[in-house]
Amino acid sequence: MLTKKKIPQSTVWRLSQYLNCLSLLSSEKCREISSHELAERVGVKSTQIRQDFHYFGGFGQPGCRYNVGQLIGELEAILGLDKPQNMIIVGAGNIGQALAHYDKFEPLGFRLKGIFDVNPRLFGLKIRGVGVRDVKELPRFVKDHHIRIGIITTPARVAQSVADLLVRIKIKGIWNFSPMNVTAPEGVSMVNENLSVGLMTLSHKIKGG
């Protein structure tokens, strides 16, 4: 485990693809897999997989295929899925509600604890057992419930100020869905997920290239 070699962003992205694929294989009672087989399934080169694993010291032994269960464990640990993480959503509009409904985060260990908004008409609304609360309660709530991740689904014009608030109350990571790039200081992780970018990328591809 010589994690100190600066992992490319693209490697982290692929690790989550590998994990997806391996989880499926595991549910089909597959116990072992070679880098070649996994590569085939995920659509990358086998040497890419071995190199990706190599950043973490490698997870197998020469001559033997990888153990699926062990691999899943290693990848989960790397991606921080080995222990549960509490999340909140700020902004109970369409995107916020859809993410609250989404049931693929929970099995990965991400637990939604609260949803916040400024619109009183939404207070009390429950989505999968999680209530919408007044954003004024947010700082207190984050402290009391050990919230590590904040998801921003507010309009663009307030996104940065929400992020600033989340930073102040010591949230660890921010996942921003507002159509405005948001920044956070060193020490707080940020992922900007501008939905329009995906569509524009698709549009450009269609044009031919």
Partner DNA sequence: TAGATTGTTAATCGATTAACAATC
Binding site for a copy of itself (CB under 8 A): 3, 7, 9, 12-13, 15-17, 19-20, 42-43, 78-81, 85, 93-95, 97-99, 101-102, 104-105, 108, 110, 148-149, 172-175, 179-181, 183, 189, 191, 193-207, 209
Report 38-97 residues binding DNA (CB under 7 A).
Answer: 44-48, 50-51, 53-54, 57-66
b (16+ CB within 10 A) / e for 12-33 = eebbeebbebbbebeeeeeeeb
Shortest distance (Å) from residue 187 CB to a copy of itself: 10
**Contact of 34 with 65, CB cutoff 8 Å:** yes
Those residues with Cβ within 8 angstroms of residue 108's Cβ, 6 or more apart along the chain or in another chain: 81
Helix 46-54 and helix 35-42, axial crossing angle in degrees, nearest 10 = 110
Report 130-169 residues binding DNA (CB under 7 A).
Answer: none
- The Cβ-side half-sphere exposure at 55, using a 13 Å CA radius, reads 19
Residue number, 69 or 198, with CB nearest to a copy of itself: 198
Q: Report the residue from 11, 17, 26, 192 that binds DNA according to the rule CB under 7 A.
A: 11
Spell out, one character per residue from 18 to 37, where the chain touches DNA: x when CB under 7 A holds, - when not. Answer: ---------------xxxx-
Shortest distance (Å) from residue 68 CB to DNA: 11
Answer with the entry of DNA, a copy of itself, none that 12 interacts with (C-beta below 5 to 8 A by kind). Answer: a copy of itself
* Helical residues (DSSP H) of the chain, grouped into ranges: 9-27, 35-42, 46-54, 68-78, 94-101, 138-144, 156-168, 195-206
Shortest distance (Å) from residue 105 CB to a copy of itself: 6
Distance CA(170)–CA(167), nearest Å, equals 5
Would you tell me which residues interact with DNA (CB under 7 A)?
6, 8-11, 33-36, 44-48, 50-51, 53-54, 57-66
